[in-house]
Structure 1
């Protein structure tokens, strides 16, 4: 019988990172598969999970060195420094969000250290991988949090209210970018009672916007530009489309009270959606939440983790929005990891054996080399 696989769960060290990559729920599930799970002391504290809760689930809990020693698999939310994994077995699997384009030197260091690094954000957008997709699970929460934070900053009510003293009109909320985060932002703003409109470069999202009770705002004059790249991600638009989009947004945005921007292109800086001139056209007291602020921002002048006021408009955005919902974000992230590895768990070998379609998509390094095609060149 194969020896039990050892899974190490690290405490996050990045500034502002409050999530954890395993919960007592998933610890129990991995142990049921035959694995040994070791959790670094305090790993779940910021997500409201005590060390005792991990022990009750069956995990070992201790300092970094004994947790990582002889580990076969290491879990993280964000990629750890390679030196932290020095005590792990040769060829250890590392599963985390690794930011391969922004942290290329670290990826090269993983390769040099013999680590097999698996980038969870490279999970392919295919049906059988939906339950493994950390970008979707975390973006879902981010879209919700963006609206809640904007509502808190906005100095007025969201829903229409009819009172003896008169009627309060509903807030107007405009969502730019209708991926997972944008769809959840639409749904949340609708639940709060706002009048919601939304736009996206992908024409296929029109029906999704309407299904949530929001008004679609689309460029009609430029035909044949779908804006959808490989794997369902948005791509950059032509100059003609960008000009038409800017004109449309300028006329619409001036009437809005809340704007949520969500546009990201993998491996590139976030596209600029809102200019200073467009901000100046908005009503004083309006709020813009830039969900892409950590990748350069969709909004001119946005600053991560600060509320910036320009032309009477408050612009805000978090460098790590899901971390503001640490308990739920950790629960979903850890389930994504479990769903990923358990799908490939070989009972005879007592360990996951990744297939080509998903394994090759997420694997960055192996046998001392960077092997992912998206990082070639």
Structure 2
């Protein structure tokens, strides 16, 4: 089977779908790996590294491939270069990329969306959402420490004692827990909150204090939280306001794929923070947890700096690409039988993440959206 690795075209995307270290794993299975020249440059992988690992550099890799690997949804030009009957693996954002989905359907491409891989034990090695959230959570804590003009850890010196920074993390999924762990390693005192019942114990296991509000929990399917009513959201913001006001750094990480991020913190709550405070909104790209945050910018609300995340994993392209490539290769192994592309769409993992196949849209929510257009 010929497997193509595309050169990403989206602005700001630095990741690559396959790193040189994993090329031998695919070649060892009998596949030929074709890489578009320059595909790995954003992640600091030169063309020569791919060639040395056994890949073939080919400007027409996509046209020749049985399977195309990408990070972001391909642009129209790239999608229409995929030959009929071939397969595509990428983050596809099918609910937002309806035109692309329609093209893939008409082109007869079997498309798999990495963000739709189910969060089950069997699919853990393919869970790209979790691997990229790990990168994002770490990056958020580093950004917060970098913007905050004070020490994170306690310092006791002959000149006196400098108290540690107080950090609050809202959302304790993969990204939130990594933000907690990183802030704790840097020496901050961390408090955190999540609407899910199991989160309090996970927060405490990271060495942070779990914020407990007198509110019902909102556990949902697949490890995600259920959507909350506006009445509950308003009460939650009211109860969280004192914790936000007392924080030197606030990190918000609450997001669910395919849905607008919940507003956890109002502008008024940020304006009540002390001079020099820092807010890091990881969810700015999907609507924002913090009212007034702007993706890719640092804005000022009251006395606080508010950093809005934009494609945060791409800000650490080396580890993000390595983790994503591991996820992709694990999925490729599931897609193939005896070296040939033979996806079993009856498999629970492939059934969940397959968006198009055999000229139809298999992903029900996306199909419903296309029918409304």
TM-score normalised to structure 1 length: 0.94
Per-residue CA distance 1:124-173 (angstroms, 9 max, x = gap) = 01001011011000000100001101111111110010111111110000
1:334, CA displacement in angstroms?
0.4
What SS does the aligned partner of 1:78 have? coil
Give the C-alpha shift of residue 366 in structure 1: 1.2
Partner Cα distance (1:345, 1:91) in 2: 14
Shift of 1:85: 4.0
Q: Match of 2:169?
A: 175
In structure 1, C-alpha distance between the alignment counterparts of 2:145 and 2:234, rounded to whole Å:
30
Counterpart CA distance in 2 for 1:174 and 1:352 is 47
Matches within 5 A, 1:14-163: 14-63=10-59, 66-163=60-157
Name the structure 2 match of 1:303.
294
In structure 1, distance between residues paired with 2:283 and 2:80: 34
Among 6, 10, 20, the alignment partner of 1:10 is: 6
- Secondary structure (helix, strand or coil) at the match of 2:71 reads strand
Instruction: Give 3-state SS (helix, strand or coil) of 1:364's partner.
Output: strand
The 8 Å contact of residues 219 and 244 in structure 1, kept in 2 or not, is answered as: no
- Once the 2 structures are TM-superposed, how far is the Cα of residue 353 of structure 1 from its aligned partner? 2.7
Partner of 2:361: 370
Contact 2:133-2:174 within 8 A present in 1 as well: yes
Q: Does 1:353 align with 2:343?
A: yes
Match of 1:343 in 2: 334
For residue 127 of structure 1, give the secondary structure of its aligned residue in structure 2: coil
Does the aligned pair in 2 maintain the 1:342–1:352 contact within 8 Å?
no
**Structure 1 residue 314 corresponds to structure 2 residue 310:** no
Residues 32 and 352 (structure 1 numbering): CA distance in 2 closer, same or farther, change over 3 Å?
A: farther
User: Is 1:237 matched up with 2:228?
Assistant: yes
Asked whether the 8 Å contact 1:115–1:368 carries over to 2, the reply is: yes
Task: Work out whether residues 137 and 179 of structure 2, in 8 Å CA contact, stay in contact via their aligned partners in 1.
Answer: yes
The aligned counterpart of 1:193 is 187
Alignment of 1:161-310 (within 5 A): 161-220=155-214, 222=215, 225-310=216-301
Residue segments in structure 1 that go unaligned for 5+ positions in a row: none
Q: d(CA) in 1 for partners of 2:49 and 2:110? A: 30
Q: How many Å separate the matches in 2 of 1:205 and 1:85? A: 40
**Contact in 1 for aligned 2:334/2:343 (Cα 8 Å):** no
- Give the deviation of 1:370 after TM superposition: 1.1
Instruction: Compute the displacement of 1:352 (Å).
Output: 4.6
Question: How far did residue 240 of structure 1 move?
Answer: 4.2
CA distance in 1, matches of 2:358, 2:335: 20
In 1: Cα distance, 2:221 partner to 2:117 partner: 13
Distance 2:64 2:335 in 1: 21
Q: Distance in 1 between matches of 2:309 and 2:237?
A: 25
Measured in 1, the distance between the counterparts of 2:303 and 2:81 equals 54
**Aligned residues of 1:209 and 1:215 also touching (Cα < 8 A):** yes
Structure 2 distance, partners of 1:273, 1:98, is: 27
Q: Give the drift of 1:243.
A: 3.0
Given that 1:34 and 1:350 are in contact with CA atoms closer than 8 Å, whether structure 2 keeps it comes out as no
Which residue of structure 2 aligns with residue 330 of structure 1?
321
- Cα RMSD of the aligned pairs, angstroms, is 1.3
In structure 2, what is the Cα distance between the partners aligned to 1:325 and 1:123?
A: 23
